[in-house]
Structure formats: C-alpha cells, structure tokens
A and B are shown apart, each in its own frame.
Chain A
Amino acid sequence: MPSSKFKECVDDTALRGLRPGARRILERRAKKSVRWFSSKFRSAVDRSFAPADTVGALRGVRDRAGQNRPGLELTLTERAARFSANWDLLGRALALLCLALSPLACGAPSSAQRRAEVVIGIPLEPPNLDPTAGAAAAIDEVVYANVFEGLTRIGPDGAVAPALAKSWSVSADGLVYEFELGAGVVFHDGTSFDADDVVFSFERARAPDSTNAQRGYFEPIESIEKLDVDRVRIRLKRPSSAFLFNLGQGDAVIVAPESAATNATNPVGTGPFRFAKWRRGDQIELERFDRYWGEAPKIARAIFQILSDPSAAAAALLAGDIDAFPNFPAPEIVAAFEANQRFAVVKGTTEGETILAVNNGRKPFDDLRVRRALCHAIDRRALIDTVGFGYGTPIGSHFAPHNPDYVDLTHVCPYDPARARALLAEAGLGGGFTAKLMLPPPGYARRGGEFVAAALGAVGVKCEIVNLEWAQWLKQVFADKDYDLTIVSHTEPMDIDIYARDDYYFQYRDEVFRALYARIVAATDPAERSRLLKEAQRKIAEDAVNVFLLEAPKIGVWNARLKGLWANSPIQANDVTGVYWSQGDD
C-alpha cells in the first residue's frame, strides 16, 4: 500500500513538473526527516494499543467538527497506526515524502488520477476468485459482472437482462431454451468465446464431481447442445421459472476450458475488467480489458480493498484511501457520513431477514405459547432504533418487504410484554426460565443479543449470552442444533423454503407447511404462486417459528462524486462496469 501511494504521488501532478535535480533534493530531504521521525516515534507507534481504532475515532470527531480536510497528513497518521506491525522505514519515507510535498500538489488526493480509477472497500477477503467453485459472497463481490459474465445477468433492480446471450427464445411448454450468443467476444487470455465454452461451463457445473456451490441451479437441465458456433439449446426436465435468473448468478458464469482450472487465483473471464493482481489480505486489482465486446467502462482500474474493521473502513473513507464502501456494516458510523457533504449515503434493500431463531425442537420452545411470548416481548421498532441506529425494516415473517408477494405481518405478533407474561404463565412458566442465547460475531447479532436479552429478561426469560466465532456457530448452532436461541441474518433471496427442510437448525417440522411449499414449487400460474407465497408467510408467522426481527438494510457510503454503483443488493455483487466520476469541483 505505501509503495502504490508513493508511485501515485510521484507519478502524479506533484513531481511531474520538477527537474530531476529538484526531485532528488526533495527525496533526500524527506529521507532525512524520516530518520528523525522513526527514531522519535517508532516505538510509540509500534507499541500503541489498537491504534487504528483510536485514530479512526479521533478522525471522526475532528471531521464532524469540520476542522478536518482531506489531506495526506492525516493519511500519514492513519498509515502509521494501521501498518504499525510491518511499518518499515520505506513506508515512513513515502508517507513523509507525501507530507513534505503536500503544499506542492499531492495533498489534494490527486483528483485527476483518481477519476480513472475507483477503490472499493469490501469487508471480507474472498477465499478464491472463481465464482463457479465457492459459495462465499465475497467472490461475487469482486468478480461478478466485472471479470466474469453469464449468458444472462442480474441488473441493479434484480431483473434478468441479456449478457453473453444477446437474445433467447423459450418454447411454449417452458422446456426448451435457445440462446443466441454475442459475436466478437474474447476471453482475457485472447481465446475466443463460442458455444463450446457454454457447453463446457454448464457440463462442468452439473458434473457429479463439480465443485459448484449451487449445483441445484443446473439440476433441472436435461441436456445442453451446441447448434451452431453462436447458438446453444438447453432442454429442461421440467419448467423452472427461476432458470433464467439462476443463469445470471455468479455461479453460472461462462469460463473457458483453457483457464477454468486456474480461475481460483488467476480468473479469466469475458468481462470488461481483467484481473491484474491480488495482494493477499490487502487488495485485489482489476484493470480495463481493451478488447471487451460491449460498452467500455469509464474507469481504467478498480481496486477492491479489504477492510474488515468498520472503524478502519470509516477512517479510510474519510482519508480518501477508499472511494466507496457499498455494504457498510456499522450503521452507527453512517450518521457521521450523512452530515458530511463529501459523501453520499445510499440506503437500499437486501435479501437479509434478521431473525431471533428459536430451537423448535427443544423444550419449552416446542410450545407455541412460549414462542409467541418471545415474540410479544420484543419491540422491533426499539430494536431497529438502538441496534440498527434507525436502519432496517421490521418484518413479521420470513420474506423481504420489497418483494411484490410480501404481506406485512408485523401485526400478527406485536410488542406486548403483558401478553407475553400471560402466555408464559399459561404455559406453566410463570416463574420464568433460563435460555442460552448464542451470538455469532457480526455487530447486529452481538448488539442485538444484548437487546433481546434485556427484552426477554423483562418478561421473565433469563438469557445466558454466549458469544461464538463463525466456525463455532456453524458447528454448534447450525449443524449440531445445540442452542436455545440465536440471532442471525438469512441473506439468500427467496429462502422461505428453509422452513420446509427436514433437518434445518430451527427444527420446524410442520406437515401443513411442507405441503404448502410443495404446491408453491409446482405452481406455474403466477397469481396462484403469489397467493400461496402469501399463505406460506402467514403460516410461519402464526406458528411463530422464529421471532422475525428486521430486514437488514444495505447502506452504501461513497464519495459524492462517484456515480453508478448499485443502490440495492438483489444479489451480492459490486458491479463497477457503470461506475464513473462526475465532473465537479472537489
């Protein structure tokens, strides 16, 4: 990171106009001051405890007070703190050089250069870069639509649009799809794209030894057939209304036989950006692919910077080190950005239903009255105000409010602590009881857990809070079902089917719901399907399977001059193909 900053500073406006001699003098002076700096402050910087957070906090305060302006002197402090562990002399030299040069020009974050690139913050590092061989959303957040494309694609509104297939036709019985492929498409390694690649990709994905995380998408396929160099026919075993949508997901992108094996570390797709480099634990860089078949993107480079700590992410945004953080995880910090003219805060929707999951298979939670009591004990509005800092939509069932088939069922089980106590008394638990509340690491769960524990405590259910790491949570709660209560966000789109599953962690076993879900799957008439979906929502709300808390918000924070990022998250992606910098003064 320091070296790229150095390059940017030096290559950029600041030194371009200087004679070589002057440049040498400047560099020497900077080095000298660095020696002084390092001798003075090295130990202080290296020893400071959790410096990034401290600096982040201080930065935020100063910024709110309006005393702060974007500049590299702050970047220096920030750097010094954040890279304290491996902060070498070179790093200091570069930061100091920038500092020394800031009066010259480098101080204004090199806006001319910045307009050709965008730096996007992401919270988790992807385990690999092959979307056809991993379930992690972090993979799609980097490569979807940028590096890899499918036959279809999902747009920002969640609708299916043409991509590598410029058009398609569907037979009347919904079983035969014919795709017409675009012409002149090449992979980033120069090999050409044609029907063979499509056949290869889908055969690979549905093969018995496939490592595709969503093989279910390809399960309805009966056969794939190359008709021509640019025409493909896919036969289905049965009609599937979700087929075109699923082909647009990251798991169904088209890969080439020449490069499929190495996509995990060197992804080669047909997208407008090609993979440039990946510095593990730090950033992934994509650069514009000049032979792209479609409209060329406006930016030349996209850098995905991994920042798992929300405070560090906020500091990086304020310092101008990153331009955007499309899925900002800490709503409490967002207020500071909303007050700041430099940033746009864009609130959109996700597919994440956040629930207080209840182990229906365990006493006393197998009793409907107890589950309803839990639900009546929790004030969703207050929860959203405190835990989500006002962000989030209350839900009464397991369904996304922006879905056309949504019904508002929050009235089924309103906040009513007196009724909760009465129900518990009726269930023979008037004296109260103790429950284990297991919490995974994200802020919404930990903070939400405190809220839930206090709310349930008020009606006599004493919660014993147990904080778990993700791996522990997945094993103990999700796999072994050894829990009473937990808080988690279900982020998959249209996932009401989990209530019909045999062995799911909340252990809801209801034949009526299963029959209902089987009818939803089989329904071909959209009106009928919609009616059934509404019935399903009502059914789980009335059974109070879980306490449905809120629909997670998507909060994007980015530079106000940056345009073209998605406002909503119909799928997990950071599509930067349409991103550009508006021409305004800084």
Chain B
Amino acid sequence: MSRSPGLLVGAGLTLFFALLALASLLWTPFDPTAFDVPARLQAPSAAHWFGTDHFGRDVLSNVMAGARTSISVAIVAVGLGMAIGVPFGLFAAAAGGAVDEWAMRASDIVFAFPALILAILLTAVLGPGALNAVIAIGVFNAPVFARLARGSALSLWRREFVLAARVAGKGRARISVEHILPNIGDLVIVQGTIQFSLGVLAEAGLSYVGLGAAPPTPSWGRMLAESQTIAAIAPWTAIFPGLAIVLCVLGLNLLGDGLRDAFDPKLRARR
C-alpha cells in the first residue's frame, strides 16, 4: 500500500467528495437553488468563494449539492448494474452450455451499443429525470458486471474446492452463492469503483445534454451546460463544476487502479 501513492490520492479525493456530498445534506454556504438577482455573476469573493451564476446562485453551494446528485446517481446506478449483472454472470457460468451462450450473447447485444448513446436513448424514451438517468446508467453497467462475474466464475468452477463442494452434494446455485461469489468479490469491487467513475461522468454527460437531473436539482453537468455561453464573462461558473468532475473522476479512477494493484497478487509480485 505504501508504495502506491495513486491509491492514497484516489482514496483521498474520493473521501473528499463523499464528505462534500454528505456535508451538503446538512449545510451549504447558501441555498443552492435560491436566486439572488442583484448578486448575479459575481466573481469569487469572501462571501461567494466560487462566485455566483446568472441567477445569483452560489456556485460553491451548487458544486457541493451537485456532488450529492452525482454520487447518489452513480451509487444507485452502479448498485443496480451490479445487482443485475453479477447474478446474471454467475447464472450463466453455473448453467454452462447453450444457456451460457445465449445469456452472454444477450449481454453482448446491450454491450454493443455505446454506453452513453444507450443512456441517451433510454432517457429519450422514458423522459429526462434523475431516476431515469439512474436506470439508464445502471442498465449499461449490467453487462460489464455480467461478463466479469461469468469470466472469473468459469475459472473457479474448475477449481478443487468447487469440485469438493459438488461432490458434497451442493447444488449449482448454492455453490455460486457460497463459494464463487466470495471469491470474485474483490474483482467486483474494483470494477465497481471504475464503473462508479464512469457513472459520475455519465450523469454529468446526460445532464449536460439536458437528459439528466431536471432543474432545480443541482448537477455538475447542467452547471456546465448553463455556463457554456457565459463562460466568456463569468469563467468561474464553468471552471468549478468542471474541476469537480475532473477531480472526482480522477480520484475514483486512481482508487480503482490502486485497489486492483493491491488485490491482484500477480501484479504485486511483478513489481
């Protein structure tokens, strides 16, 4: 661990944004949705650290509240993807044969669509909104977890301890839950961290094109979209939400990479 500064930085950034989101539940410097027309487009100052936007809303408060939106959307979406994908992959690996083949081709079909395009399609059909963004991001996350779970489960099925369990008379479902799942847990967590960063990015992207969280729910992506044309006169309205997205995604990616290195004995040995 001590040899992996990336992991520390990643964990630090992730913790920071998690705390920021939690803090915003209790306190923000200003009400993130409150207009203050006379104080609009103010540059960063002691009162408004990150300045104010065209409606006089405090940018810092919105960045904090936006962290809450991003993180909660990403958590639920990745959770949804895991909840669908992992059992699906375990099932395919346990069933084997034609069922496995069909199940994986089905997941390939979902996988074949570019993730963000699929999310845009889904929100276009279901209508914009935070909940639909969650569903959209969750659905395109599922095949990732399905593949991962199936791939690692397949190799485990040939291992002695699984054979022993089979000889002991355990059913396939029970083996999957009792023996396979605990052994792929760390992989799922690493993948989850990486998917989480993609989820944050996807939420920002969907909100940017107007398919994510509807106003007045604060969102980094929508802050960027709104500040796009005023960035020339009020650059702080674009810089801070942009930085927030970059740092949050960077942190999660570093954390994911760091965790993978930490969990993977082969990689560790090679160093």
1/0 contact string of B187-220 vs chain A (CB within 8 Å): 0000000000000000000000010001110000
* Contact (Cβ within 8 A) A454 B33: yes
B232 partner residues in chain A, CB cutoff 8 A: 56-57, 59-61, 63-64, 314, 333, 336
- Nearest A residue to B231 via CB reads A57
B128 touches A332 (CB 8 A): no
A54 to chain B, nearest CB (A): 9
- Does A467 belong to the interface (CB within 8 Å)? yes
A454 to B55, CA, bound (A): 10
- Enumerate chain B residues within 8 angstroms of A64, measured Cβ to Cβ: 232-233
Which B residues between 82 and 133 are near A, CB-CB below 8 angstroms? 127-128
Establish whether residues A454 and B238, one from each chain, have CB atoms under 8 Å apart when the complex forms: no
Give Cα distance in the complex from A333 to B54, angstroms.
12
Tell me how far the C-beta of A337 lies from the nearest C-beta in chain B, rounded to whole angstroms.
10
Partner pick for B214 among A451, A454, A465, CB 8 A cutoff: A465
Rounded to whole angstroms, the CA-CA distance of A57 and B236 in the bound complex is 11
B12 is an interface residue with CB less than 8 A from chain A: no
Q: Considering only CB atoms, which chain B residue lies closest to A443 in the complex? A: B229
Q: Which residue of A lies closest to B234 (CB)?
A: A332
Cross-chain contact B233 with A382 (CB below 8 angstroms)? no
Known: A57-B238, A467-B128. A386 touches B37 (CB 8 A): yes
Q: Please tell me if A159 contacts chain B, counting CB pairs below 8 Å.
A: no
Complex Cα gap A330–B233 (Å): 12
Kindly supply a per-residue 1/0 record for chain A positions 229-241, scoring 1 wherever the CB is within 8 Å of any chain B CB and 0 otherwise.
0000000000000
Question: Cβ of B56: which chain A residues have Cβ within 8 Å of it?
Answer: 386
Interfacial residues of chain A within 453-479, with CB under 8 A of chain B in the complex: 453-454, 457, 464-467
Query: Within the assembled complex, what's the spacing in Å between the Cα atoms of A466 and B123?
Result: 12
A335 located at the interface, meaning its Cβ lies under 8 Å from any Cβ of chain B in the complex = yes
CB of A332 within 8 A of CB of B37, answer no
Interface string of B222-237 (1 = CB under 8 A from A): 0000101111110100
B40 within 8 A of A: yes
Q: Given known contacts A60-B232, A333-B232, is B35 in contact with A386 (CB within 8 Å)? A: yes
Interface size on A, residues (CB 8 A): 34
Contact B210 A467 (CB under 8 A): yes
Choose from A335, A385, A457, A465 the contact partner of B40 (Cβ within 8 Å): A385
CB pair B216–A453 under 8 Å, yes or no, is yes
- Report Cα–Cα, A446/B222, bound state, in Å: 12
Q: Are A386 and B233 in contact (CB under 8 A)?
A: no
Would you call A449 an interface residue if the criterion is a C-beta within 8 Å of the partner chain's C-beta atoms? yes
In the complex, the answer to whether B228 meets A454 with C-beta atoms within 8 Å is: no
Asked if A397 is an interface residue, CB under 8 A from chain B, the answer is: no
Bound state CA distance, A56 and B210, in angstroms? 21
Chain B residues in 8 Å Cβ range of A385: 37, 40
Q: List residues 373-409 of chain A with CB under 8 A from any CB of chain B.
A: 379, 382, 385-386, 389
Q: Which positions 217-260 of chain B face chain A at CB distance < 8 Å?
A: 226, 228-233, 235, 238
Chain A nearest CB: distance from B208 CB in Å?
8
Q: For B216, give its contact among A314, A333, A454, A467 (CB under 8 Å).
A: A454
Residues of chain A within 8 A (CB-CB) of B231 are 57, 60-61
Given A332-B54, A386-B35, A386-B37, do A450 and B215 touch, yes or no (CB 8 Å)?
yes
Q: Could you tell me the distance between the alpha carbons of A57 and B231 in the complex, rounded to whole angstroms?
A: 6
What residues on A are CB-neighbors of B215 within 8 Å? 449-450, 453, 465
What bracket does the count of chain B residues touching chain A fall in? 20 to 34
**Interface flag for A310 (CB, 8 Å):** yes
Instruction: Give the complex CA separation of A524 and B13 in angstroms.
Output: 75
Within 8 A of B (CB), among A48-84: 53, 56-57, 59-61, 63-64
Residue in B33, B37, B128, B230 whose Cβ sees the most chain A Cβ within 10 Å: B230
Q: With A385-B40, A449-B215, A466-B128 as known contacts, state yes or no: A57 contacts B210, CB within 8 Å.
A: no
**Minimum Cβ distance to chain B for residue A354 (Å):** 17
Q: Which residue of B lies closest to A385 (CB)?
A: B37
A443 to B227: give the CA distance in the assembly, Å.
12
Bound Cα distance from A457 to B215, whole angstroms: 12
Check if A311 sits within 8 Å of B229, measured CB to CB. Answer: yes
CA distance A59 to B56 in the complex (A): 24
The residue of chain A having its C-beta at the shortest distance from the C-beta of B208 within the complex is A50
Q: Is the CB of A310 within 8 A of B210?
A: no
Shortest distance between the CB of B114 and any CB in chain A (Å)? 14
Picked from B40, B127, B216, B233, the residue with its CB within 8 Å of the CB of A336 is: B233
Query: B54–A447 contact, CB under 8 A?
Result: yes
Interface string of B26-40 (1 = CB under 8 A from A): 000000010101001
Question: How far does the Cβ of A517 sit from chain B's closest Cβ, in whole Å?
Answer: 37
The answer to whether B235 touches A57 (Cβ under 8 A) is: yes
Fill in one digit per residue for B114-156: 1 if any A CB lies within 8 Å of its CB, else 0: 0000000000000110000000000000000000000000000
A residues less than 8 Å from B55 (CB atoms): 386, 450-451, 454
Contact residues in B for A333 (Cβ distance below 8 Å)? 229-230, 232-233
Bound together, the chains give a CA A314 to CA B232 distance in angstroms of 10
Contacts of A335 in B (CB 8 A): 233
The answer to whether A386 touches B54, judged by C-beta atoms less than 8 angstroms apart, is: yes
B229 and A310 contact, CB distance less than 8 A: yes
B186 to chain A, nearest CB (A): 32
Q: Tell me the residues in window 319-338 of chain A with beta carbons closer than 8 Å to chain B beta carbons.
A: 330, 332-333, 335-336
Q: Which residues of B contact A467 (CB under 8 A)?
A: 128, 210, 214
Shortest beta-carbon distance, A93 to chain B, in Å? 31
Contacts of B35 in A (CB 8 A): 382, 386, 451, 454
Smallest CB-CB separation from B217: which chain A residue?
A: A465
Which residues from chain B contact A453 at a C-beta distance below 8 Å?
215-216
**Which A residues are CB-close (under 8 A) to B128?**
466-467
Cα separation A56 to B55 with both chains bound (whole Å): 22
Which of chain B's residues have a CB closer than 8 A to the CB of A310? 229
B233 pairs with A332, CB closer than 8 A: yes
Contact, CB under 8 Å: A53 / B228 = yes
Which of B37, B210, B216, B229 is packed against the most chain A CB atoms within 10 Å? Answer: B229
B76 → chain A closest CB, angstroms: 21
Q: How far is the CA of A263 from the CA of B184 in the complex (A)?
A: 68
In this complex, the member of A314, A450, A454 whose beta carbon has the largest number of chain B beta carbons within 10 angstroms is: A450
| Docked pose: A333 CA to B127 CA in angstroms | 31
In the complex, chain A residues 212-260 whose Cβ is within 8 Å of any chain B Cβ: none
- Of chain B, the residue at the smallest CB distance from A446 is B210
Contacts of A446 in B (CB 8 A): 210
Closest B residue to A472 by beta carbon equals: B124
| Minimum Cβ distance to chain A for residue B178 (Å) | 45
A332 partner residues in chain B, CB cutoff 8 A? 54, 229-230, 233
A61, A382, A443, A450: the one contacting B235 at CB < 8 Å is: A61
**Residues of A that sit less than 8 Å from B by CB:** 53, 56-57, 59-61, 63-64, 310-311, 314, 330, 332-333, 335-336, 379, 382, 385-386, 389, 443, 446-447, 449-451, 453-454, 457, 464-467
Question: Can you list 15 A-B pairs, Cβ within 8 angstroms, ordered by A?
Answer: A56-B232, A57-B231, A57-B232, A59-B232, A63-B232, A310-B229, A311-B229, A314-B232, A333-B230, A379-B37, A447-B226, A451-B35, A454-B55, A457-B216, A465-B215
* Extra A-B contacts (19), CB below 8 Å, given A333-B233, A386-B55, A386-B56: A57-B231, A59-B232, A60-B231, A60-B233, A63-B232, A64-B232, A311-B228, A311-B229, A332-B233, A333-B229, A336-B232, A336-B233, A443-B229, A450-B216, A451-B35, A453-B216, A454-B35, A466-B127, A466-B214
7 A-B pairs closest in CB distance: A60-B232, A57-B231, A332-B230, A382-B37, A330-B229, A336-B232, A450-B215
